[in-house]
Amino acid sequence: MDNILELKNVSKRYGESGFALDDISFALPYGSIMGYIGENGAGKTTTIGCILNTLSKDSGTIHLFGKEMNDKETLLREDIGVVYDGDNFPGYLNAERLANVMRELYANWDDGLFQEQLTKFKLNAKQKIKTYSKGMTMKLAIAAAISHHPKLLILDEATTGLDPVMREEILDIFLDFIQDENHSILLSSHITSDLEKVADYITFIHDGKIILSAKKDDLIYRYAVMRCTSEQFSRLNKADIIAYRKRDYQIDVLIADKNAAERKLKGAVIDTVSVDEIVKSRFINHALWVLAGIMLSVLFVVLTIAIHGNIYFYYDVRDPLMLFCCGTGIALLMGSLFYPSIYLLGTDKSEIIMIISLLGSVGITVGIIWMLNAAYDFQSVSDAEFYLNVTIYMVIVFVSFVLSYLLTTLIYRRKEC
């Protein structure tokens, strides 16, 4: 038995939101640390819930220590230490009372080790948890997690909120923990620099799908980004492509074996990349669009207040409301144009695409307003008719945005960089 944790074809779907873990598989060997990375909402916490059996999976198998976790396997929980990103314990407790509770829950609870950790982290055992800072609560959760001598630590953003010095100390504790070859750690984190220091394996999840799972050294020294032309890209084996991004004069392709790629495509530029660069490359389009939309919305709100002022709002809300709705609508339409365009054309053209998207969204808005006014022969309308027109406009732009988002993220998400 080589793996302390093994997931095979695990799926979990949420009916209301539509989000799903989609047939994910990875394995964590004994004596190692796996960094589990992905954006917010990618499925990291859902994965952890399925592993701990606090969420029921729809399909697939999860084995811990060679056994499948279920409600009857309570002894397995003795060997697992868990730290969540959030409130791990009731705020009205203090560390002293928490130790009393944990002593009843875990047969291997070690008061001496817990007190040693409290001293190391400089935590007052009599201070109520609700008065702790976020960093202090994370220290307490880590201290409690390792004080019942688990074999597997599952940590959800455990170094979040800690200063760099304390993060280094925590990472040292993790490294000490896996000196025992029967111990392992699954570390979910956004801080990729921490993972590069301590992780043996990296698993990357995006939109509920595992994009890659590999040894960290393989990721750094074998995985690479190939800068190739369209002609070179067309000659690549699709099975070798993990993800790609189009630029002005080249296509950046994330590949799993740079040596094999060099043999297949002579003359292509191939660069090694860090974990942080691989992660950031997948989210730059999202960040650019969000920034553009926020800036445009704020601009129109400011213009609304500057032109009309608060007194005008009191007497007649129609004009400023229309201006505000147009601003919000243009921001949504801009996103509808900008988001798929930057995916297709590449981030190097982001400034040009942003300007074109802005002009296009303004033009669409003017056209919609013209058609709505034409329906009333460009005559004055009643309040009821005005609010109906505003509602129609907002529905049109919102539906356009949703359709654009679905088109880009749901159809092309496997190849978006």
According to the 3-state scheme, what is the secondary structure of 119-130? HHHCCCCCCEHH
Q: Which pLDDT score, from 0 to 100, does residue 112 have?
A: 93
Average pLDDT of the residues of the chain: 79
pLDDT confidence of 62, banded at 50, 70, 90? very high
Find the range with the poorest average confidence among 119-123, 233-237, 301-305, 403-407: 301-305
pLDDT given for residue 19 in this prediction: 82
Give me the mean pLDDT over the 355-362 stretch. Answer: 82
Burial (CB count <10 Å: 0-12, 13-18, 19+), residue 146: buried
More confidently predicted of 106 and 338: 106
Mean pLDDT confidence for 190-218: 84
> Is pLDDT at 221 greater than 60 in this prediction?
yes
